[in-house]
Amino acid sequence: MTRSIGPVTRARMVALGASLALAAGAFALFFAQRQTGGLWVELTRALLILMATFWLAWGAAQAALGLWPAPAPQPRRATPRGRCAILVPVHEEDPQATFARIAAMDAALADTPQAGLFDIAILSDTRSAHGAAREAAWYLELLRSRDAEGRIFYRRRSSNAGRKAGNIEDFLKTSGAAYEFALILDADSLMAPDTIIEMARRMEAEPRLGLLQSLPGVIRASSVFGRAMQFSAALHSPIFARGVARLQGETGPFWGHNAMVRVRAFAESCALPDLAGPPPFGGHILSHDYVEAALLARAGWIVRLDEDLSGSFEEGPENILAHAKRDRRWCQGNLQHARLLAAPGLRPWSRFVFVQGILAYVSSLFWLGFLATTILAPALRVEPDYFPLDGWSFPVLPPNETTRTAGLIIGVLGLLILPKLMIAVQAIRSGRAAGFGGAARLMGSTLAEIALSSVTAPIFLMFQTRSVLQVLSGRDGGWPASARGEGRLGLIESWQASRWISVVGLAGLAITWRLSPELVGWLIPVAGPMIAAPLVIWATSLPSRALFAVPSETRPDPILARQDAIMADWSRGPAPGTDETPATAAPAQEPQHV
């Protein structure tokens, strides 16, 4: 009897097989019995490169899977009938900007025949008295301008137990029975009404669908770093997401926002317990979204990422420090998932997703460990045995360190750069390039993004390594407010936040010079950006419009213009509840300590 292999299993086998084969190739490149650094050094180094290469290859395999044409979109079989609550959890956000997005979505939905199906609930976890006062004043302004009493709700918890997951749980326990669906947003989320209605339609069409995740595009970036991220999200993310969608089957991802859930399914399956012990590994589950997706799948619900859904937006960090600050939180959340790997009843793919999330951060330790052993290997050098085999009269030469390093760099660059180039070529061939300013601008932006990410990668390697070590040593990152808005940094601020990276880079280069001078040239692409980290962080935070055009700029969705108009309208005259203009009433941006 033969059993046919489904497309999801086949995709998983191809991606895993290719990744393991490439990782094994890297291992073989760095491990042989007679080596310069001795057996144990070589074995350690080869194992480290095996793990690090697997992670890189896994990302490249997802891109390769995503490059295959997508199946035709689903037919729209169902008419949305169930009521839907649009949930906007907020925590020390700028209420003017957040509520302008809400007003824009409310106004856009009001123009559709399904307007009566949607309510909006602002769920505040803001603790500061000043923040709470501003929220209340702007909420009353929102009600007035949208005539939305009984349709747009606002409540502030006196205890923010469970953070965002607890905030949503609190809403569902209070009001969940009034709704069939809930669209979970972040404070910086913006969604087009057609997208929201299409998501409700798809939820209606598939009664087993517990959660539908859209792919949010990044908008409104203005700095060099922010615009490069925005460009990458617009060009690369749909392809990577299509690869993820091919691998996910019915066990898709939840990224915490811009996703619609079936309220009954979520309520039955997703009340998270606190984990035993103190943070960072115990206590509240920080990266709750991955866990909620796993719990929905455990209960038999479909969790799906539909990457074809357009009109879903979020804002991103505008500088490297804001990104590193967010990454610190994600790092702790992902490493905490190690506690859940053996959770009862989870689907194997859910467990694998947890492992993936952990690897995303731990891989930085593998790279750093590999670099360290490569630099130190000559100090541990053993005399090569040119005639290791009895009776064999020809000498066996040890492998050339430079050749191996060159081979590794070519392999790594291939795994990192080739997928991006292939995505750019595919965008040009499919006509998608028009949204990026045409083929020439797209290719220019792609090369600039590759150059920029090559420079920033060693800096992120250091921030990630520090985050992992902090979590492993038991340091809890807490729940800082998200850094949004303009992200221009001063040179002194950049220096203070990253001088330690410069010191590590200089020390690494000096040690290499002393122990393995032949490797200095190969180390420069890593050590150079580290030494220049304060300059890189400062320069990439500066505003720029030169490159990185994206469809949200060249063909903006009408929802963006609606939000702009509301913001402009609300910025005239004094802020509600004060005599100040909104710009001066806004709280000073939080210092970005990372």
Which of 2, 4, 33, 159 binds other proteins (CB under 8 A)? It is 159
Q: Using the minimum distance from each CB to other proteins, give the nearer residue, 173 or 429.
A: 173
Smallest distance from the beta carbon of 498 to other proteins, in angstroms? 37
What is the rounded distance in angstroms from the CA atom of residue 356 to the CA atom of residue 64?
Answer: 18
Q: Using the minimum distance from each CB to other proteins, give the nearer residue, 342 or 583.
A: 342
Residue 303's nearest CA partner among 337, 339, 353 is 353
- CA-CA-CA-CA torsion sign (482, 487, 493, 496): positive
- CA-CA-CA-CA torsion sign (484, 489, 494, 495): negative
User: Does 396 engage in binding with other proteins (CB under 8 A)?
Assistant: no
User: Does 1 engage in binding with other proteins (CB under 8 A)?
Assistant: no
Which of 122, 196, 244, 423 binds other proteins (CB under 8 A)? It is 122
User: Does 329 engage in binding with other proteins (CB under 8 A)?
Assistant: no
User: Does 447 engage in binding with other proteins (CB under 8 A)?
Assistant: no
User: Does 263 engage in binding with other proteins (CB under 8 A)?
Assistant: yes
Q: Report residue 331 as tokens.
A: 């790092």
Return the range that interacts with other proteins (CB under 8 A); candidates 306-314, 334-342, 451-459, 486-494.
334-342
The one-letter amino acid at 82: G
User: Does 348 engage in binding with other proteins (CB under 8 A)?
Assistant: no
Smallest distance from the beta carbon of 343 to other proteins, in angstroms? 5
SS3 per residue for 419-448:
HHHHHHHHHHHHCHHHHHCCHHHHHHHHHH
Which of 2, 4, 158, 473 binds other proteins (CB under 8 A)? It is 158
Return the range that interacts with other proteins (CB under 8 A); candidates 62-70, 118-126, 311-319, 416-424.
118-126
Footprint of other proteins on 281-310 (CB under 8 A): 285, 291, 295
* Sheet hosting strand 302-305, strand order edge to edge: 152-156, 118-124, 84-90, 181-184, 259-262, 209-213, 302-305
Return the range that interacts with other proteins (CB under 8 A); candidates 28-36, 272-280, 458-466, 492-500.
272-280
Q: Using the minimum distance from each CB to other proteins, give the nearer residue, 344 or 573.
A: 344
For the CA atoms of the chain, what is the radius of gyration?
26
Q: Using the minimum distance from each CB to other proteins, give the nearer residue, 121 or 526.
A: 121
Q: Are 415 and 59 spatial neighbours (Cβ–Cβ below 8 Å)?
A: yes
User: Does 338 engage in binding with other proteins (CB under 8 A)?
Assistant: no
What is the rounded distance in angstroms from the CA atom of residue 250 to the CA atom of residue 248?
Answer: 6
Which of 172, 526, 527, 536 binds other proteins (CB under 8 A)? It is 172
Those residues whose C-beta lies under 8 Å from the C-beta of residue 561, and which sit 6 or more positions away, are: none
Footprint of other proteins on 521-580 (CB under 8 A): 577
**Cis amide prior to 73 (ω within 30 degrees):** no
User: Does 463 engage in binding with other proteins (CB under 8 A)?
Assistant: no
User: Does 154 engage in binding with other proteins (CB under 8 A)?
Assistant: yes
Smallest distance from the beta carbon of 145 to other proteins, in angstroms? 14
Q: Report residue 306 as tokens.
A: 């539909």
Q: Are 316 and 218 spatial neighbours (Cβ–Cβ below 8 Å)?
A: yes
Number of residues that bind other proteins (CB under 8 A): 54
User: Does 143 engage in binding with other proteins (CB under 8 A)?
Assistant: yes
User: Does 267 engage in binding with other proteins (CB under 8 A)?
Assistant: yes
- Residue indicated by tokens 């505040």: 124
User: Does 135 engage in binding with other proteins (CB under 8 A)?
Assistant: yes
Phi and psi at residue 283, in whole multiples of 5°?
75, -150
Q: Report residue 319 as tokens.
A: 């500088």
Q: Are 357 and 454 spatial neighbours (Cβ–Cβ below 8 Å)?
A: no
* First and final C-alpha spacing in the chain: 59
Give contact residues for other proteins (rule: CB under 8 A): 119, 121-122, 132-133, 135-137, 139-140, 143, 149, 152-159, 161-162, 166, 169-179, 263-264, 267-273, 275-276, 285, 291, 295, 339-340, 342-344, 577
